[in-house]
Each structure stands twice: as C-alpha cells, then as structure tokens.
A and B are shown apart, each in its own frame.
Chain A
Amino acid sequence: MNTQRAHSSEFRLLVTPLVLFLLVFLGFPAIVNLIYSISDVSFETLRQPRITGLSNFAAVWNDSAFWQASWFSLRFGVLTALLECGLGLFLAIFLSPLIERRSWLMAILMLPLMVAPALVGLMYRLVLHEFAGPVPYYLWAWFGASFSFLGPTSAFWTLIVVETLQWTPFALLLFYMAYRAIPTEIVEASAMDGARRWHLLWFIELPLMAPTIVVALLIRFIDGFRVFDNVYVLTGSGPGGSTASLSIYIYEAFFKQGAIGKAVAASVILFAVSFAVLYGLNLIASRRKGAVK
C-alpha cells in the first residue's frame, strides 16, 4: 500500500511539469487567441483588447483573399502530398535492392531534408534567375528562349516542383522502412505460389504498407497545407496574392496589415477545420479497426 502511494506521489510530481508546460505554452495562448479573435485589438492595445463579437470572423469570411489562400493551400497540400508519396513509393521499391547493398546511398538521398525551406527558396531564386541561374542559361543556349518559371501561369507549378523535390526523400524514407519490414516469408510463399511481381506488389506489399502510406500522405498534406517559408521567399505570395497560402495570409494580416483580430480569427477557423478533419479521419480509422476485429 505504501509503495503504491509512493508511486502515485512520484507520478504526480513527474507529470506536473508536463501539465504546467501544456497549460502555459498551449492553454494560455489558446485562450488569448480566442479573446483576440472576438476583439478589436492592435499592437498598441494588446493588453486591453476591446471585445467586439464576431466581426473579425465575418471580415475573414467575406475576404476573397482568405478563400484564394485557402484554395491555394488545399491544392498545394493535396498535389504535393500525392506527388511526394507517389514518387517516394516508387523510389523506395525501385531502389530498395540498391540501398540494401549500399546503405550510404540513403544518406545522400536524405540531403534535401537537411536544408531549411527558406534556404531552398533562396536557392531556387538563384537557380531559376534568367541571368544568374543554370537552368535558364541552358534553356537560352539550347532553345534561344527562357521559360518564365515564376510568371503568373507557372509560379504555382514551379512551387509544387520545388516542394516535391525537397520532401520526396521524407516519403522515401518512411516507405523504405515499411517495405523492408514486410516479412520475407510472406513474399517467398507468394512467389512459390506463382504470384507475379505485379500481383505481389498490388496484393501483398502495398496492403501491408497501407498504414504507412496513409500516415505519410497525412503528414505531407499537413506540411504542404501550412507551407510558408519557401513560397514566401520565392514569390512573396505574388503575383497579386496568387501564391499566398493560409499561413502567409495569416502572417500578412497580423504583421503587415496590423489586423491582429482578423489574423487570429483566420487561425481559429483554420484550427476548427483542421480539428474537424482530423477527428473525422480518426473516427473512420477507428470504425475500420472495429470492423476488422
């Protein structure tokens, strides 16, 4: 009984810092955010916000730039997640025998992950510059013209390519680990039963990798949806706000326009939608799990 009490006391002592941390660093900002989202507040009145109701939410809702940014983030998140995971899956399976024999290859393939996204943006500003970058230089030398990589019609796709090039190695790493974890007995048994390579992939390997694929898609979608650094550095959210993501919209409303209430209201909407989507996905996953049992 005494041992149990001692354990309970130590448990409380050990958990207290975590609880305090969550209260201070998550709970307090969340409450302040909620207050700011229904207030008329500026940098001068941060400590004395004036409650005004839902006008900030109405301003966000009626702002075409908010919907433009939402649409950009959604498209960007979905497309980059699909491309990165598709490419990562292909490379993981295709390169698996090679990486198995030469494991140092994996370290090289992971290099793009080591570069800060803002730096990637800066790097591509140089690489794609018509007079300084190697890509336009060779295009000009070979075809006598240079493609506009960051023009009104191409900026979105250039950003997609830049994001995909940087983050495909992350998907590759996850898929390679999942692929290597498939029990060899199952693969060998299938082969002995006469399964062809395509059937093996489609009916054995991919289903076994499915949980990893779903997780990778989700992580990459979230990362793509909240993209900020490289887009902001490369295009400055332009031209005309056409490459503004939701994160950039919130940043610009907060710092550039000083519309703190509006920026926070947008972040609250974003939080609510994200929570609903994640909760829905969790619910679906739980039901499927229950059905399988």
Chain B
Amino acid sequence: MTFSKIRKGGLLAAAIASLLASPAFAKVTVLGWPGGPEETALRAATDIYNAKPDVAENDKVELLFFNRDGFWDKLQADLAAGSKAFDVNLLATYSIGRYAPFMEPVELSGEAASVYGDSVLKTMQYEGKQFGVPTDLSLHFMYYRKDLIEALMKDDVAKAKYAEISEKHLGKKLQPKSPDEWTWDDYAATALYFTQAVNPDSPTRYGTVLQLKNLLFNMMVFQSLPRAYGGNWMDDAGKITVNSDAYRKGLETYKLLYDAGATPRDSLSYEFAEANAAYTSGQVAAMMQWNAAASDLTSKEKSPAVADVTDTVAPPAGPEGRFTHIHGLGFGLNKNAENKAGAQAFIKWLSSKEAALTYAKNNGAPALTPEVVAEVAKDRPDLVKLGEFASKYGYVMNGGTSAKALSVYELQAKEFTGYWSGQQSLDDALANTEKGMAELLK
C-alpha cells in the first residue's frame, strides 16, 4: 500500500467520522431521567405535545436519555462545558444551586400555582427565581405491616413485653399505638419489639431496615427524624446548627437500632433496592422508604409476601411535629440552548394542568393540589397521599437548594455512617459535620 493510498483512506475515514459525529437534527432536545416511571411519563406527555397542531415542526420535542449512574456528575460537566446537546435538562431540588449558573429562569403557565401549589413550586426555586417545572416529587412514607401491628395491639401479653423492651432500651415504658400516632420513640420501640435478637418470639427477623450506605440519598431519608426534633442545617442568620440535640437524638436512635440488631448487620451497605428486598422478604415489620417504592411493595406480583398486609403513613412525629423531606425532579432551561424559544414553550406547557394530568396518568409522580389530584385519584390513589403529605409535612432544609447542597448530603453521609459503624464518636461526627458544612455553606 502506497503512502498516497494511506492518505486517501485517512481522509475518507475522517469524512465518515465527521458525518457520524454530527449532532442530531432535533428541534427541542430534552434530557430526561432514564429508565423509570419518569421516562414513561415524560414520553407520554411529549407525544401529546408533539401532536398539537399549534406546535411548529421546528419546536417538536425530541427526548434524550443516558444512564442513571453518575447522571448528575455528567450533567454538571456538560453544563459547565457549555454543551448545546440539549435545550431542556433535568433538575433536582438539591442541585438547583449547583446548576443555576448554567441555566436560565423559566416562565410557567398561569395554571401552575393552582396545579402544584406554592410549596411544591418552591422545590424548583433558587434565590427567588423559578428554574424549573416540578414534574415529580419524592418524599418518604412509613411502610408497615398492618397484620403484625393489629395483632400486637390486641394481645395483652405482647403489650407487656413491648413495654418491657421499650423500658430496657429507650428508658421509658411505652404502649403499642397505631402507626399514624407514632412518635420516633414509638417507631424505635416497635422496631425493637419485632426484632428476634431482642425478642426471640418476634414473627419477623428484624423490626426495621435502615438504609445506612454512605450515600447522599440515604441522608434524605434520615433528615425527617432530626427535623421532627427541631433540627435544621442552619438558622436564619446563616449559622450552622447541625451540632444540636435534634441531630444527636436522630443519630443516637439509628445507632441504637443498628447496635441492637433491629436492622440487618449489612445495612451499612443498604440503599433503596436492598431495603426493599429486605422488606418484601416478609422479615421486616416497618421501614421508612421513598414513596417511589409504594407501587412495588403493594404489588401482589412483585411482593407476594407483604403486598396485602402493607400500609403507609407519614413519618413519625417529634416534639416539633411531623415532617417528610421533599425534593422534586423537574425540567429547566439550559443557558446554551440552541432553541430557547421552543424550549421555553415546552416548559410552559409542561406546567399546565393538561400536562400534569397526562404525566400523572402515565406513572409520573407529580405532587398536585387536592382539586387537581381528584381527577386522577381513581387511577392513582398514591398521588392523593403524595400531595397531602407534601403540603402538610413537606420541608426543605435551610440551604437545601444551595450550590453545595449535594456536598452537604455527601458530607453527612460520610460522617454519620462513620458514627453508626463505630468508627468515630457522636461528638466527632457532629463536630466534623458542622465544620464541613460551615465551609460548604459559607
């Protein structure tokens, strides 16, 4: 082969490669959350939008999906690099501040406030500006075995044992209560009672299953406990308040349950999927879990051992009331979008009642106001609780939408799991967290 042939071959290969590397000729490109109900719902909503006669050919929406693993880090890198590969991108409450410098505030439809309500719209706001439309809301339910709790409440011998266990481990005699009236102490007492390591007569191996992996999402599940005791990340003056009695109480409760064997020993490597697997085995009495698990845990096909006997309530209460951590997924506008007008039009429509109902009917999880959710309550009864809990008990920690919110969760995950695993003291864990948060949120 002569050199000139090699050169020609090289030129041809370069030409083919450049053709293959050309961006797709999309009109409005939307980067979505792949592989779950959110994708199904977004596809359904997009189909309706694209079929509208008043949507110009150049403004039709094309969806893009890549892997969930490392999604937020890849998105961060893409946005920082000024990527034009997508016009609209996914956004989460805890990452708004991180991405806001690379995005633009959006205009929602006039119906948005009546469809979602102010508290839910706030999950997509940063520094007073609306950066996205809140399509999916995540919060936490207390899932419990109603058969076990009902049996406990009817049995006087069991009640006496329950009181004995609670006095021994929690320092006070407690009586079994309906889960809707639980305080965090009642939850802990119930978890201990249904643990065979504590009560050999327990029908389940573990009273609860905690998600203790060094993972930021697990910290979101945990936050509602200290919050019920008045915990917050910082006060109105910006002073970090994590080194408090409220966080101390929350951390100690988890530690007590872990050390007593009320949760599997490997809980330190557990997250969403592992906790669900433990619960569906029928060997766990109650657990705090994301609302997203509801459909699986109550499905006879997917959870035959527990589907019929599982019920949900809001997380337990503390002296300051009952709280559930909320965060939303939504869609916002890339600052470098190539079709900004088309993207803005799609976002505006996405915040309308029509879009929200389509999204809800197709497996999405929007938190809708009671008037709107009533229209889909028959098909999606879980959305009724979602909307109710979000408006009654939902909260976002002070600083929870800041640029470093994700890093705060990461820091807490590292320090708190260090305490739960016995690698550092409670004082050290709280002091390290306070110091790190002061640095991150300054």
Q: Which residues of A contact B (CB under 8 A)?
A: 10, 13, 43-44, 46, 118, 125, 128-132, 146, 148-152, 155, 234-242, 252, 255-258
Contacts and interface: CB of A to CB of B under 8 A. Distances in A.
Interface string B271-310: 1001001101101000000000000000000000000000
B423 A130 contact: no
A68 to B, nearest CB: 10
B268 A151 contact: yes
25 contacts: A43-B77, A43-B101, A128-B266, A130-B264, A130-B278, A150-B269, A151-B266, A152-B421, A152-B423, A155-B268, A235-B269, A236-B271, A237-B414, A238-B417, A239-B418, A239-B420, A239-B421, A239-B423, A240-B214, A240-B418, A240-B420, A256-B406, A257-B407, A258-B403, A258-B404
Interface residues of B, number: 46
Contact of B213 (A46, A235, A255): A235
Interface of B: 3, 69-70, 73, 76-77, 79-81, 98, 101, 212-216, 264-266, 268-269, 271, 274, 277-278, 280-281, 283, 403-404, 406-407, 410-411, 413-415, 417-424, 440
A241 B277 contact: no
Contacts, number: 111
Contact of A238 (B69, B213, B265, B440): B213
Given A236-B213, A238-B214, A240-B423, 19 more contacts: A43-B98, A129-B277, A131-B277, A148-B264, A151-B268, A152-B421, A155-B269, A234-B269, A236-B215, A236-B271, A239-B212, A239-B269, A239-B423, A240-B414, A241-B214, A241-B414, A242-B423, A257-B440, A258-B407
B101 A44 contact: yes
B419 to A, nearest CB: 7
B213 A252 contact: no
A252 B410 contact: yes
A240 B269 contact: no
B216 to A, nearest CB: 8
A250 to B, nearest CB: 13
A240 B407 contact: no
Contact of A129 (B79, B266, B423): B266
Q: Which of A13, A152, A236 has the most CB of B within 10 A?
A: A236
Contact of B410 (A46, A131, A256): A256
Contacts of B265: 130, 146, 148, 151
Contacts of A257: 407, 410-411, 440
A150 B421 contact: no
A131 B283 contact: yes
A10 B269 contact: no
B404 A242 contact: no
B73 A132 contact: no
A123 to B, nearest CB: 13
Given A236-B215, A255-B73, A256-B410, A131 B281 contact: yes
A252 B266 CA distance: 23
Nearest to A13: B3
Nearest to A243: B214
Contacts of A130: 264-266, 278
A248 to B, nearest CB: 10
B201 to A, nearest CB: 16
A238 B404 CA distance: 21
B278 A241 contact: no
B54 to A, nearest CB: 38
The 5 A-B pairs of least Cβ separation, nearest first, read: A240-B418, A238-B214, A148-B265, A239-B421, A150-B269
B414 A149 contact: no
A180 B364 CA distance: 61
Contacts of B216: 256
Q: Which of A46, A146, A255 has the most CB of B within 10 A?
A: A255
A128 B420 CA distance: 21
Contacts of A235: 213-214, 269
Contacts of A118: 69
Contacts of B413: 238
B5 to A, nearest CB: 13
Contacts of A240: 214, 414-415, 417-421, 423-424
